[in-house]
Amino acid sequence: MSVSIAVLTIGDELLDGSLSDSNTARIATLLGAQGLSLRESLTIGDREADIITALLSLVKQQDVVIVTGGLGPTADDLTARAAAKAFNRRLVLNDEALQQIREYFLTLGRPMHPRNEKQALMPQKVMVMPNRVGTAPGFILHQDGHDLFFLPGVPEEMNAMLEAEVLPHLRQRSSAHARQQERVLRVFGLSEPKIEALIEQAALPTELRIAFGVEFPFVLLKLRASGDSATALLEQAETSARQALGDCVVTSGSDSLAQVVGRQLTAAGKTLALAESCTGGLLSTLLTAQPGASAFLQRSAVVYANQAKSDWLGVSSEILEQEGAVSEACALAMAQGMRQAAGSDLALAVTGIAGPDGGTPQKPVGTVFLALCAEGFEQVKGYRFGGNREQVRLLAANMALDWIRRHLKR
C-alpha cells in the first residue's frame, strides 16, 4: 500500500523573502527516487500556535509528516515545544539527545554553550535521530499510527538525517511493488527539446515514464517505471537512451561529472595540472571537492595577470601582445607550459571572458578557449558560451571536465 506523506517547513525567513526553501524540493527529489511522492507541503512561520495547528491538521490527513526547521538553540526555535503541546506530552530534557550534542562539541574540540542544552528538550517518548553534521538532533514521534519526523532546517543537516534515518523508515513502510524506480542520466551538450526528440526516435518501452530536470549546465533525463518488471524495463531503457544520446550522457545516478573524471584519472593512474584564467579556480574547486583529489591533481594555477602566465607557464610576450590572453594560441601555450612545469600526464588550460565587462566585438563576453595536452596529443578549441558570468564560468569548467572525460575514454 502506498503511504501518504506531507512536508511541514517552519521558518519566518522562508515567508518573508529572505531565504528560499530548498528542503522541500530536496525531500521531493529523494522520495521521488524511491518511487514515493508527497501529498502536500506546507510552510509556516515561527509562531507556536501556527505550528500546533499545522501539526494537528497534517497528522489527521497523512500517514507521515516530515517536519523541518525550528530545532535550533535560540528563542525563535519553537518546534519541539509546539510538538509537545500539540500531542499533549511533557517537554523533557532528553538524555540521549543531550549526550549527542555534548559528543558533537567534543569532536569539534569546542566547549558546548549552555544554550545548546535547549536542543535536547523534546516531547516525551520520542526516538532521537543523531545529527552528524550539526548540533540539533532530530526526533521521531509516533501518534495513533502516524509517524512524525522532526529534522533541523539547515539544508545539509536536514539532508544527512533524511538519508540516514527517514528514508530507511519510509522504505519499510511502503511496499516494494507500489514504489516507482528511477534512473537518472546526466546529459551535457544537448538541449531538452533535442534530447526529447532523440528519445522519441529511440522508441523506449511504452510503460516507461520520462521526466526532465535541469542542474545547470546539465539536463537530467529521468526514466521511471514501477511494478515487478521495473528493473528490467529500466535496464533496457537506459541502454536505448544511451544509444540515442551517445557520448553526451556523462554520468548516471547522483555522480557529478567531476567525480567521474576523478575516478577515471585515479583508475588510469594519470596525473593532471590545470591552468585557469576566466574560471578563476572553479575547475580546480570542482575537482578537489571530492576526497582523494591529491592522488591525481598535482597543481593548478589561476593566472589572471599576464606576468603569471609568462612566469609560471612560459607564455611568450609575442602571443600575449599579438594574439592576446584570450586566444587559441594563448590557451595552447598555457596548457603546454603547465604540462612542462608540473611534469604531469595531462594539462588543461582555459582562458576567456566571463563578463559582464571585458567583451569586444571580436571577442564578446562568453568567448572561451580550451586546450588539452598529453603525451603526443594536443587539442585546442574556442567556444562562445551564452549566459551571465556564473553560467559562463560553469559552462567553461564543465566543458573542460568533459574534455578530460572524453580523452580518457579513448
Q: Which is nearer to a second copy, 20 or 88 (CB)?
A: 20
Q: Which is nearer to a second copy, 105 or 127 (CB)?
A: 105
- Under 8 Å between Cβ of 332 and 320: no
Q: Which is nearer to a second copy, 74 or 124 (CB)?
A: 74
**Given 3, 15, 140, 167, the residue binding a second copy (CB under 8 A):** 15
* Residue 14 beta carbon to a second copy: minimum distance, rounded to whole angstroms: 7
Strands 249-252 and 209-215: unpaired
Q: Which is nearer to a second copy, 90 or 321 (CB)?
A: 321
Round to whole Å and give the CA distance between 326 and 320. Answer: 9
Q: Which stretch binds a second copy (CB under 8 A): 104-112, 142-150, 328-336, 398-406?
A: 104-112
* Residue 43 beta carbon to a second copy: minimum distance, rounded to whole angstroms: 4
Site string for a second copy, 357-396 (x = CB under 8 A): x--------------------------x-xxxxxx-x---
Q: Which stretch binds a second copy (CB under 8 A): 41-49, 78-86, 93-101, 399-407?
A: 41-49
Is 69 among the residues that bind a second copy (CB under 8 A)?
no
The length of the chain is 410
Residues in 167-226 at the binding interface with a second copy, rule: CB under 8 A: 180, 182, 184, 191-194, 196-197, 210-214, 216, 220, 222
Dig out the grid coordinates for 98 from the structure.
543531550
Segment (H or E) for 20: none
* Residue 29 beta carbon to a second copy: minimum distance, rounded to whole angstroms: 4
| CA torsion, ordered 120, 60, 39, 31, to nearest 10 deg | 40
Question: What is the Cβ-side half-sphere exposure of residue 19, based on CA atoms within 13 angstroms?
Answer: 15
- In the chain, the largest separation of any two C-alpha atoms, in whole Å, equals 80
Q: Write the secondary structure of 30-64 as one string of H (helix), E (strand) and C (coil).
A: HHHHCCCCEEEEEEECCCHHHHHHHHHHHHHHCCE
* Residue 102 beta carbon to a second copy: minimum distance, rounded to whole angstroms: 14
| Angle CA 82–85–91, to nearest 5 | 85
Dig out the grid coordinates for 372 from the structure.
588539452
Is 99 among the residues that bind a second copy (CB under 8 A)?
no
Q: Which stretch binds a second copy (CB under 8 A): 139-147, 261-269, 355-363, 371-379?
A: 355-363
Is 115 among the residues that bind a second copy (CB under 8 A)?
yes
- Under 8 Å between Cβ of 12 and 46: yes
- Under 8 Å between Cβ of 375 and 345: yes
Is 96 among the residues that bind a second copy (CB under 8 A)?
no
Residues in 287-346 at the binding interface with a second copy, rule: CB under 8 A: 287-289, 291-294, 297-305, 307-308, 311-312, 341-343
**Given 2, 3, 42, 314, the residue binding a second copy (CB under 8 A):** 42
Alpha helices in 203-270, H assignment, sequence order: 230-245, 257-268
Compute CA 164 distance to the chain's CA centroid, rounded to the nearest angstrom. Answer: 17
